[in-house]
Amino acid sequence: MKQTSKKQTDIKNLISKLKKGDFVSLSKAITIIESENIKDKSDSNKIISSCIKQKANSIRIGITGVPGVGKSTFIEAFGNHLTSKGYKVAVLAIDPTSNVSKGSILGDKTRMNTLVNNKNAFIRPSPASSHYGGVAKKTRESIILCEAAGYDVIIVETVGVGQNEISVSEMVDFFLLLKLSGAGDELQGIKRGIIEMADAIIINKADGDNIDNSNNAKSEFSMALKLYPVKKSKWKPKVLTCSSINNKGIQPIWKLISDYTSLTKNNKFFDDNRKNQNKYWLLQSINDKLQSDFFNKNKIKKELEKQYNLLDKNKTTPFAAAEALFNI
């Protein structure tokens, strides 16, 4: 009983310190919510429930782009620019490949060595997870904790692959796509869905011999954006160029995001969008719970193996196999 009481006190103290902006307490709290240990579930719920009540005046920014586009360099330049203006910046990562490669997008923090040592910045690599939905959910919860700790700008970084961008767009206010120029047809191979989600396209590495190519890419993307329907936010996505390594073009990007925030707060889209995102994550959480409970049943595990064997022998169909599992 005494041990339980002490643990409750420890969690209360952790939450109290977190809300005062204590860096170590924030890290510890995120570790608890990332934990797969069932014993940490109760503490995790207490932390999130307490932090979500904290009124946050933040902006959540999603940043995506293929490997090699310069995300780390851009985030470091962007983050340092914001902290120089008095903002507190948190950087979180979603990386579904981390459990395969044993690394993460932000695993090599030395690539952002000045931001790592910036007292007004917090950087958190992706949690290791066996399935993508779990990583995304925990990142969503980490955003809530960072806001409770007083961070004004939350950056969610992701690799530009598959389901990734959809989940990120459902947890941020502004979605930014980083691109490179000089690789031939600028629009070739880019997924239509990503452009539809993007609130801005930034042509990175616009320096040296690549300036003309970057400006050409900017024109090409700007023309392409005109073909897309008007967004619900009434915001018209823009294309800008920057050189992260030379720290050029960073301020206009922040100005663009600030303009977006002003527009969407005035027309109520900002708040409405966050409410809709909460509903999205409610449904996602229900799906995750139902799926977890279903597949953790011993009878289901045995029957699933049986249905796999029948499928391999062409003795059933995926639909009939699913029906058999549901009828157990």
The Cα–Cα gap between 199 and 224 comes to 13
Give the other-Cβ count within 10 Å of 292's Cβ: 12
- C-alpha triplet 234, 271, 77: angle, nearest 5°: 75
Give the other-Cβ count within 10 Å of 257's Cβ: 20
The Cα–Cα gap between 126 and 136 comes to 9
Q: Give Cα separations from 220 to 65, 67, 206, 224 (angstroms).
A: 18, 22, 15, 6
CATH class of the structural domain 54-267: alpha beta
Q: 317 φ, ψ to 5°?
A: -115, 160
The Cα–Cα gap between 84 and 244 comes to 16
Fold of 1-53: 1.20.5
The Cα–Cα gap between 18 and 16 comes to 5
Q: Could you give the residue range(s) of every CATH 1.20.5 domain in the chain? A: 1-53
Q: CB under 8 Å to 188, separation ≥6 — which residues?
A: none
Q: Give Cα separations from 299 to 96, 120, 291, 310, 313 (angstroms).
A: 29, 51, 14, 17, 22
The Cα–Cα gap between 10 and 32 comes to 13
State the pTM of this model. 0.87
Dihedral class, residue 316 (left if φ above 0, else alpha if ψ from -120 to 50, else beta): beta
* pLDDT score recorded for residue 292: 86
* pLDDT score recorded for residue 108: 47
Written as one string, the DSSP assignment of 133-174 is: HHHHHHHHHHHHHHHHTT-SEEEEEEES-TTHHHHHHTT-SE
Contact criterion met (CB below 8 Å) for 43 and 6: no
Q: CB under 8 Å to 80, separation ≥6 — which residues?
A: 114, 115, 118, 121
The Cα–Cα gap between 281 and 286 comes to 8
pLDDT digit string (tens) for the chain, length 328 residues: 455 555 667 999 999 999 999 999 999 999 999 888 888 889 999 999 999 887 778 999 999 888 888 898 999 999 999 999 999 999 998 765 555 444 455 554 556 889 999 999 999 987 655 455 556 778 899 999 999 999 999 999 987 555 567 788 899 999 999 998 865 445 554 566 777 889 999 999 999 999 999 999 999 889 988 888 899 999 999 999 999 999 999 999 999 999 999 999 999 999 999 999 999 989 988 998 899 899 999 999 999 999 999 999 999 999 999 999 999 8
Q: Could you give the residue range(s) of every CATH 3.40.50.300 domain in the chain? A: 54-267
